Amino acid sequence: MLAINLPFVFAEVVDRVVAFVDDKAITLSDLEDNYKAAAKLRPDIKKEEVLNTKINRMLLLREAKKLRIEGANPDESIREYIELKLRTFIKITEDDLREFYDKNRKEFGKAEFDDSREKIEEYLVEKEVNIRLKKHIEDLRSKAYIKIQLNN
């Protein structure tokens, strides 16, 4: 009887699962790799923040695949997805540009509106993309099965 149970005594956990996103698992080693890379850019970053970013990326990649978007790498796929799903629907009016310029006149120094127009538009589009992306991710998360088992 002892010989039969012996292999189980020496069995070890190869990698611990720290989260599930629908039918996909995120392992501790995956999280650690992502955390080390992120900590080089932001030493104060928390593992939970890195994990949530990874979950968000997984959800966005899943949606990109549904639309048959295949970039050269995951970042490119996500960029293309955001471009197609969010950015193309953002329209900044001339009034929006002018209003921003007038409210932030000091920031532009002696630059005239026409000289600043392109930068203002880029800024306002990015701001709106970020707002819509946050809402879109919240929506994706609400529809997904997400279970986090992160014990620091």
Mean pLDDT across the chain: 91
- For residue 113, give the nearest of 101, 95, 121, 103 by alpha carbon: 101
User: What is the helix, strand, coil percentage profile of the chain, to 5?
Assistant: 65, 10, 25
pTM above 0.85, yes or no: no
Could you give the count of Cα atoms lying within 13 Å of 141 in the half-sphere of its Cβ?
Answer: 14
- Return the CATH number of 15-148, one of 1.10.10.10, 1.10.4030.10, 3.40.720.10, 1.10.3720.10: 1.10.4030.10
What is the mean pLDDT of the segment spanning 61-73?
94
Neighbours of 59 (CB within 10 A): 20
pLDDT confidence of residue 11: 53
Q: Report which residue type is found at 88.
A: T
Q: 23-45: per-residue pLDDT in tens?
A: 999 999 999 999 999 999 999 99
pLDDT confidence of residue 86: 95
Q: Where are the domains of the chain?
A: 15-148
pLDDT confidence of residue 5: 56
Q: 120-149: per-residue pLDDT in tens?
A: 999 999 999 999 999 999 999 999 999 999
pLDDT confidence of residue 87: 94
